[in-house]
Each structure stands twice: as structure tokens, then as C-alpha cells.
């Protein structure tokens, strides 16, 4: 086998069962990762999962939050500092939004958006 060949899928997790597009993923801490995406009805979602160093994915989603219930296109997430993350995306009239929220090192997503613009 040549270097760089991908020959086996290690693990999988279906974290949403219908109609998602525009995904972005970021490392949170340790084995914890956050996924933002445009979900069913074009709503904006964030979910956390665990993936260990061997590629084994946790059996279920750790936490989730619907951060926009109207329309969310092309969400992108970045780490700001500590437990604070920012998500930028295009809204219902193709206008731009940015929100901040917290994600703990264990993958728990804060129950509310910290701020928005």
C-alpha cells in the first residue's frame, strides 16, 4: 500500500438523521469536537462528539443546541479563548451573523448564546 492510501473506515456516528448541509468541525479539548451545520428546515445547529486518538467515535452525541431557528447558511466555527467559540453564518436574507457560545472541555454546550451581532 502506498503512503497516504485510505483503506479502512475506523468508526462512524450518525449525528443527524435528515437533511443536513454545510458542515464545519473544530477541536474543543482532548477528545471533544464540535460540529456546526445547516440542519433540517435550514436551522443552525451545533453538536459535540468525542473521538479518541485511535479514531473511535463515542456512541452518541454529547450535547446539542439549535442556535438559529430561522435560517443558517454556511456556518463556520472558530475558537476564541478558553471555552468561548464564535459561529459566523449567512441568515435568512443572506445577511451576516456572528454568535458566541461556550463549550466546556467535557463537550457541554452552554444553554444560551453569549452574544450575537
Q: What is the per-residue pLDDT across 59-87, written as a single tens digit (0 to 9) for each?
A: 999 999 999 999 999 999 999 999 999 99
Residue ranges covered by each domain of the chain: 21-116
pLDDT at 1: 56
Buried b (16+ CB within 10 A) or exposed e, 51-74: beeeeebbeebbbbbebbeebbbe
Total-model pTM: 0.90
Query: What SS3 string covers 51-98?
Result: ECCCCCECCCCCEEEEEECCCCEEEEEEEEECCEEEEEEECCCCCEEE
Amino acid at each position: 500500500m502506498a503512503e497516504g492510501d485510505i483503506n479502512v473506515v475506523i468508526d462512524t456516528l450518525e449525528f443527524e438523521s435528515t437533511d443536513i448541509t454545510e458542515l464545519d468541525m473544530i477541536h474543543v479539548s482532548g477528545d471533544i469536537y464540535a460540529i456546526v451545520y445547516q440542519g433540517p428546515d435550514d436551522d443552525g445547529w451545533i453538536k459535540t462528539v468525542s473521538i479518541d486518538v485511535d479514531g473511535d467515535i463515542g456512541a452518541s452525541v454529547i450535547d446539542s443546541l439549535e442556535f438559529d431557528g430561522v435560517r443558517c447558511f454556511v456556518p463556520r466555527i472558530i475558537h476564541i479563548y478558553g471555552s468561548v467559540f464564535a459561529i459566523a453564518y449567512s441568515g435568512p436574507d443572506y445577511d451576516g451573523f456572528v454568535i458566541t457560545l461556550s463549550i466546556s472541555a467535557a463537550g457541554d454546550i452552554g444553554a444560551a448564546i453569549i452574544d450575537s451581532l
